[in-house]
Structure 1
Amino acid sequence: MTRKSFTVAAVLAAAGVATAVLTTLPIASATPNGTTAQPAAASSGAGTSVGTAPYLPLSVAKKVSDIAMQKGIEKGFPVSVTVVDRDGVVINQQRADTATGATVQVSFEKAYAAAGFQTPTADLQNAAKTSPGFTYIPGFSILPGGVPIKVDGKIVGGIGVSGAPTGELDADFANAALKTLN
C-alpha cells in the first residue's frame, strides 16, 4: 500500500467510512528475455466472460459542463466547471472568461471528491462536522458544488463547480446540469 493510499485509508477509517481491500488481477508483464507473459486465466469452464463498465462519454461531459457554466453566467457568476470520470481523471474542464484561477483547481477537487466518495460534497462537508478527517484528504475539496454522476445507478464520474459566492449555488448549477441527463 503506498503512503498516499495508506493516508487516505487511515483518514477514512478515522472518519468511520467503511473501506474495502482491493485485489489485483493478473496482468501481462515483460519477462527477462523480452517476451510478454500472458495473464493467468480467471477461471476455467464455460460462462466466463469479460465484464464491461459504464463510462461517461466526452460528448456528455461537454454537455453538462456547458449547462453548468451557462447556469452560472445566467445568475451573473463566472464559474469553472470540471467533469471527471469515475477514477477522477479529467474528461472536460472549462473556466468562464472572468473566473479566477483558483476556481479551476477547486472545481476539479470537488468533482474528484464527489466521484471518489460517490456522494455530493455538501454531504461530505456535513459528515466532517463529526468526522473532521474528511478535511485532511489531499486533493479532495468537501465544499458544496461537487456531485457524482450516475448512469443506471452506477457512478460514472463527478462534476465540480466553483466560483459562485456560495457552495450551495455551485451545487445548484451542477445539479441543474445533471437533470438534463434524465
Structure 2
Amino acid sequence: MSKLCKQSPEHSINRRHNALRQIVIGVGAAALMLTTALPAQWERAETEATPSKANQHLRDNPAFITSEAAQQMADAAEQAAQQAGFNIAISIMDNHGSLKYFKRMDNTSVGSIEVAHLKASTSAKFPVSTQNLATRSAKLPGNPYAAIPGMLLLGGGVPIINKAGEHLGGIGISGATPELDARFAHAAVAHYRALSPGEPHRSSSSTDNPRARALCIQDKSQLNPLRL
C-alpha cells in the first residue's frame, strides 16, 4: 500500500509564489508590447489624418461656387448695372441647378426675379450662355431647346467656368435689355475668374488643340455642338 506524500506548507507557498511571478511577467510583457505598438499606430493615424497637399489644394481651390465668390460676383454685376443706370435681379446657381445666391436691387420689377432664376438655371445645366443657346436652337428644326421645361433662351444667362475649365454653375440677370443683362453677367464671371487662383490645365500639345484652348473661355459654346 503506497504512502501518500504530504507536501509541506513551505512547498505550497513556493508554488503559489512561482505562479504569481509567471503572471506578473506575462502582464509586464503584454504591457511592453502595447507601449511599443501604440505609439506607432498613433503616428500612423496622425499621418493619415494630416491633410495631403492635394486635399489642401482642393480646399484652397474649391471646384464649386463658394458663398463668398457668389456674393462677389453679384456685387460686380450690380456695380456694372449701376454704372449703366439699370436696376437688376441677380441669380446664381451651382451646377446642380440649386440656388446659391440671389440679389435684387431696389426698384427692380417682380417679374425679373423669375426671369433671372430661369436664366441662371439654364446656364447652370449647360455650359453655354442663354443667348448662344437661343441662337443655336433657332437654327434647328422646331427650335427644340425652347421646348425644354425650366429653360429660358433669352440673353442674360452665363455659365460660370473656372480657370481649369470646370463648369461650376450659372448666373442669370434680368432687369435691363437681354444684351445688357448678358454684359452684366459676363462682367460678374470675369470678376470671379480674375480673383480665382490657379491657371487652366494645359497639355504639351494644347496650343494645337482647340478644345484645350477653349478651356480659357467663359462660354463653352465654341466647342462641339451641345448634345442633350
Same fold (TM over 0.5): yes
| Correspondence list, 1:154-173, <5 A | 154-164=166-176, 166-173=177-184
Report the alpha carbon displacement of residue 146 of structure 1 after superposing the two structures with TM: 0.5
| Structure 1 spans left out of the alignment, 5+ residues | 1-51
SS at match of 1:180: helix
Superposition TM-score, scaled by structure 1 size:
0.68
Return the alpha-carbon distance in structure 2 between the equivalents of residues 73 and 141 of structure 1: 25
Report the alpha carbon displacement of residue 81 of structure 1 after superposing the two structures with TM: 0.4
Report the alpha carbon displacement of residue 70 of structure 1 after superposing the two structures with TM: 1.8
Return the alpha-carbon distance in structure 2 between the equivalents of residues 154 and 142 of structure 1: 22
| Correspondence list, 1:32-51, <5 A | none
CA-to-aligned-CA distance 1:77-98 (integer Å, 9 cap, x gap): 1110000001110000011110
Instruction: Name the structure with the higher helix share.
Output: 2
Return the alpha-carbon distance in structure 1 between the equivalents of residues 183 and 190 of structure 2: 11
- Residue among 72, 96, 99 paired with 2:81: 72
Report the alpha carbon displacement of residue 162 of structure 1 after superposing the two structures with TM: 0.5
**Corresponding residue number in structure 1 for 2:94:** 85
Which ranges of 4 or more aligned residues in structure 1 deviate by more than 4 Å? none
Report the alpha carbon displacement of residue 142 of structure 1 after superposing the two structures with TM: 1.2
Does residue 1:175 correspond to 2:175, yes or no?
no
- 1:58 is aligned with what amino acid? S
CA-to-aligned-CA distance 1:58-83 (integer Å, 9 cap, x gap): 10001101111221122111110000
Report the alpha carbon displacement of residue 103 of structure 1 after superposing the two structures with TM: 0.5
CA-to-aligned-CA distance 1:90-146 (integer Å, 9 cap, x gap): 000011110001101111110110111110111111012123111111111110110
Does residue 1:147 correspond to 2:158, yes or no?
yes
Count of aligned residue pairs for this structure pair: 130
Max radius of gyration: which structure? Answer: 2
**Corresponding residue number in structure 2 for 1:31:** none
Does residue 1:111 correspond to 2:123, yes or no?
no
Query: Higher RCO, 1 or 2 (CA under 8 Å, sep at least 6)?
Result: 1
| Structure 2 spans left out of the alignment, 5+ residues | 1-57, 195-228
Return the alpha-carbon distance in structure 2 between the equivalents of residues 66 and 174 of structure 1: 11
| Correspondence list, 1:129-140, <5 A | 129-131=138-140, 132-140=143-151
Bigger shift: 152-161 or 68-77?
Answer: 68-77
SS at match of 2:96: coil
- 1:72 is aligned with what amino acid? A
SS at match of 1:149: strand
Return the alpha-carbon distance in structure 1 between the equivalents of residues 174 and 126 of structure 2: 18
Superposition TM-score, scaled by structure 2 size:
0.55
- Report percent identity of matched pairs: 33
**Corresponding residue number in structure 2 for 1:8:** none
Report the alpha carbon displacement of residue 153 of structure 1 after superposing the two structures with TM: 0.3
Question: Root-mean-square deviation (CA), in Å?
Answer: 1.3
CA-to-aligned-CA distance 1:42-70 (integer Å, 9 cap, x gap): xxxxxxxxxx8811101000110111122
Return the alpha-carbon distance in structure 1 between the equivalents of residues 172 and 79 of structure 2: 14
